[in-house]
Structure 1
Amino acid sequence: MPLTAQAQCPAKIHLFHEFAGLRGGKLQTADLVAKISLYDVIDASPAPSGLALEIVDETGGSPGPEAGPRHPALRAAEAFRREFRMGPGVQLRLTKRIPAGGGLGCGDSQAAGVLRALTRLHRLERDASRLRRVRAVGVRLGGYVPFFLSRNPMAGFTGAGRAPRYLTSPRALPWLLLASSGAAPRKRPSGPPLEVPRRESVLTSLSHLGTLKTKLEKGRPISEWAGLLFNRHEESVFRLRPELRQVRELLTRLGLEGARLSGPGDFVFAFASSREEGEAAMKRLRGYPWKVFLACCLG
């Protein structure tokens, strides 16, 4: 067994998010997500017994979940240990570089990173049958864990089961800027984030989702699909956080394309035509007390 194993845990953005109605009292959604080059890092090493998690926060922002038994990293480690009946303990170290609360998928990505790190620690990566069992653990953990456990850069999710439908593109997505006002979030209301939209509105946006997937899979330029990006969360989040609408509007005025809320959290993304254009936009934002990151989509 190696002394330590490491795995990167990428963030994600929502290229599309729509509420698609209710079924059995549960809200159904349709999503298209993409991994980006902003990472947390998991280090795993053997320990005499038990599971332990150390969190090193390099974000300088609001703290994420504490290192208790319900933390996604520890839940994933416990699920892995139960599946493979591993006797020795594990010491986990999570280095936080993705801001918490941004809707960037940190928890599910950390869980997938733990599964990958433990697979390497126990030298299971060349055993096809055991790798299938690792993937099955990811499915049981649910959420976006199977997506983050895969090598695929993009995936669509629809309905209650939310099994990912992976997408590939012959052309890399453009560089992007992520920005947040950094203001302390107001208390969010309990329950669904907004009323379920009218059926006609949903059908229209879902038809746009199909077109968006087709254009991405064909490697079409952003000018052909930027207008198809959508996030239903914007209606409620911008009511609570009007400063985030201002962030989106400013990114658009800087000449960036497809500016949208990244998820249900407090980051907005927009695409640049090149890394140089993204760096130039970052320089122009230095006068604002915002958190800003330049990243690329993986794949």
Structure 2
Amino acid sequence: MNAKRAVTLDAPAKLNLFLDVTRRRPDGYHDLATIFAKISLHDTVSVSISARPVVSLRIKNLSGCPLSAGEDNLACRAARLFLREFGLSRGVSISLVKRIPIGAGLGGGSSDAAAVLRAMAALFPGRASGSAGSKKLLKLALALGSDVPFFMQDGAFCTGRGRGEKLSPFSARGPLPHILLAYPGAPVSTAKAYAALDMTKKRLTVGQNLNRLQRKLQQGVSVLGWGHLLYNRLEDAVLPRYPKVRALVQRLRKAGDFPVLMSGSGSCVFALIPQHKTAVALSGRLRNRNLAVFVVKFLGLGEQ
């Protein structure tokens, strides 16, 4: 007998505080060195066992972005993969409240997929329990996308290597800054961003800055002491090709003396601001019909 009939989970967005692309792999993917951080902007995913052996998805879309509820949605794919790989002839109904912008570099689809996997592991505890079950679940997560394993973690901060699946969680100490997050109203294709990256371009040595940034977060150093270590190599590929993202980066950098970075493959850009009042005031000046702006916070230890 199943312990639960329905599970509801938050599916948080993420930022990449550091993202270096170290090589293009023979399998077509890229090796990364990154710092992931979960933030308070989130979707809500509910999964319940249904009477019919099908996977259904209902979406309340608050993101302002077009979103399919069809079989290609990552939440549906995650549910079908779980049922198939664990040999279950059952069905589930998924309800998704979508808040995270799409094609934004925030990992919204990956987070939704991870939430479905975690919910289904709770609904069918005999299948995904123990060491073997956990390993299989993480294997399914990676099959769904490179960011999905991070969202399977309980912790809010992780370094990631390989495709992003070689994860080392760590705790960040406060005070952590407030996050002004801006979405320019248009997505960036992750595949196109990576394809456009010039891997032959000579770079300054930045790899050691990942370790420096991690240490400062662990030590509770103010953002004034680590903001200069933020880095995203994908800006080299995206900013010249996406004028809206480039203009947003420039606008935020002119708005104040704050660290500003594109998250992931874009198109979202964020500024890290010590004072909540300053972040709210700036969000009011930026917000318009073509620009979605959020003031959010980091999750985890050091949460404010």
Shared fold per TM-score greater than 0.5 = yes
Q: Where do 1:96-175 residues align within 5 Å?
A: 96-122=98-124, 129-130=129-130, 133-134=133-134, 136-142=136-142, 143-160=146-163, 162-175=165-178
AA in 2 matched with 1:133: G
| Greater displacement, 25-34 / 168-177 | 25-34
| Greater displacement, 6-15 / 285-294 | 285-294
- SS of 1:240's equivalent? coil
Indicate if the aligned counterparts of 1:54 and 1:67 stay in contact, CA closer than 8 A.
no
AA in 1 matched with 2:14: K
- SS of 2:155's equivalent? coil
Alignment of 1:206 onto 2:207: yes
AA in 2 matched with 1:103: G
Shift of residue 187, structure 1, vs aligned partner: 11
Shift of residue 166, structure 1, vs aligned partner: 1.4
AA in 2 matched with 1:31: T
Q: Which residue of 2 aligns with 1:293?
A: 294
| Greater displacement, 176-185 / 231-240 | 176-185
Equivalent residue pairs, number: 293
- SS of 1:192's equivalent? helix
Shift of residue 274, structure 1, vs aligned partner: 2.5
AA in 2 matched with 1:109: S
Distance 1:74 1:234 in 2: 31
Alignment of 1:236 onto 2:237: yes
Indicate if the aligned counterparts of 2:175 and 2:222 stay in contact, CA closer than 8 A.
no
Percentage of identical aligned residues: 32
RMSD of aligned alpha carbons: 2.7
Q: Which residue of 2 aligns with 1:14?
A: 16
Distance 1:102 1:128 in 2: 31
Uncovered stretches (5+) of structure 2, i.e. residues with no partner = none
> What is the TM-score with the length of structure 2 in the denominator?
0.86
Indicate if the aligned counterparts of 1:170 and 1:219 stay in contact, CA closer than 8 A.
yes
Uncovered stretches (5+) of structure 1, i.e. residues with no partner = none
AA in 2 matched with 1:55: I
Distance 1:222 1:182 in 2: 28
Q: Which residue of 2 aligns with 1:60?
A: 64
Alignment of 1:262 onto 2:244: no
Indicate if the aligned counterparts of 1:175 and 1:271 stay in contact, CA closer than 8 A.
yes
Indicate if the aligned counterparts of 1:18 and 1:230 stay in contact, CA closer than 8 A.
yes
Q: Which residue of 2 aligns with 1:91?
A: 93
Deviations along 1:6-64, one digit per CA (max 9) or x if unpaired, are: 11111111111112134446432221111111111111112122211222211122x23
AA in 1 matched with 2:141: L
Q: Which residue of 2 aligns with 1:30?
A: 33
Q: Which residue of 2 aligns with 1:39?
A: 42
